[in-house]
Amino acid sequence: MDGSVLGFAVALSVVLVGSVLVAAGLGPAVIAPGETVRYLWAALTGGEIGSDEVTTYQIVWQIRTPRVLLAAIVGAGLAAVGVVVQALVRNALADPFILGVSSGASVGAVGVSVSGGLAGLGIYAVSAGAFLGALGASLLVYLAARSAAGIMPLRLVLTGVAMAFGFQAVLSVIIYFAPDSEATSAVLFWTMGGFGAATWGSLPVVAVVVLAVLVVLRRYGRALDVLSLGDETAGSLGVDASSVRRGLFVLAAVATGAMVAVSGAIGFVGLVVPHVVRILVGAAHARVLVVAPLVGAVLMVWVDLVSRTVVAPRELPLGAITALVGVPVFVVLMRRRGYLFGGR
């Protein structure tokens, strides 16, 4: 890791920690940063707090902290997977949901909500349904896109888009036959995203999955660089494009499924962040995969903060905010003189 990337990473890490502390203290009940740090320290070390501070302590530790941490984890994962998917399909418009994963997760979540399936999992039933739906959608896309020549990027994109439309049709049928409005509400959540259901219990699995994927992806830096140049070039450089693409597809599907299961589908983060980071540190994936997760984490923490404070006590859908921010940013990037996908 060269000095400039290390500098970016250190600066962004400091910004991320500061953002988490600020976000944990802000909301309908504003808590000073110093008090927030004191409550967090008491929770981590088993320290004592006054009896008159119990409610404020619970707001910081039990409600806001898991939500803010989940936002950071999902933001980091979406940004990293966005980098991978854009290289995987060699398409500047690709994002983690282009493979039909979000639509499959919505079908799984809504199906469980309406049918009462997986009831034995209690409060985790809907998330489990979403995760299984996401993995099922990924498997269908992979099987449909696979050919004798391996997985071709264009074929993969077209299959993912077609499958997404198919899953949307299934969702429409479920909503039509649903006995009440529960299915409609579930669809709105899973298509627009949110962290309102975050708890300490929902953090460990997604955190382990995302962190493990981030670590593994660091080993794919050179392969992603070569893959972006095309399969023929990759073959001439000794990289088995089909094998690499298959491995990356599995990693992207598992990570996206885990994130969608706890947050719903949040668009534009995985699309815009990779482009911003390439402008900042260059196109080499070894550099981009270091900086992009940090940028995504910081962005998502602040987007979530805006969603729950602008019209409090109601919350704005995260997908609406990321789109409102992402669309103009993306247009500016595309109009930037000299900017090309994968370069400056």
Q: What is the pLDDT along the chain (344 residues), one digit of tens a residue?
A: 667 788 888 999 999 999 999 999 888 888 888 889 999 988 888 888 887 788 888 999 999 999 999 999 999 999 999 999 888 887 777 787 777 887 888 788 778 877 777 777 777 787 888 888 888 888 888 888 887 766 777 788 888 888 888 988 888 887 777 766 666 666 666 677 888 878 898 899 899 999 999 999 988 888 888 877 776 777 777 777 778 888 888 888 888 888 888 888 888 888 889 988 988 888 888 899 999 999 999 999 999 999 988 877 778 888 888 888 888 877 777 776 555 554 44
Cis peptide leading into 317, omega within 30 of 0? no
Identify the pLDDT of residue 1. Answer: 61
What domains sit in the chain, N to C, each tagged with a CATH number? 70-335 (1.10.3470.10)
The 8-class DSSP code of residue 194 comes to -
Backbone angles phi, psi at 237, to 5 degrees: -100, 10
**Pairwise CA distance, residues 288 & 141, whole Å:** 27
Q: Encoding tokens for residue 71? A: 């936002």
Identify the pLDDT of residue 19. Answer: 94
Backbone angles phi, psi at 106, to 5 degrees: -65, -40
**Pairwise CA distance, residues 285 & 219, whole Å:** 10
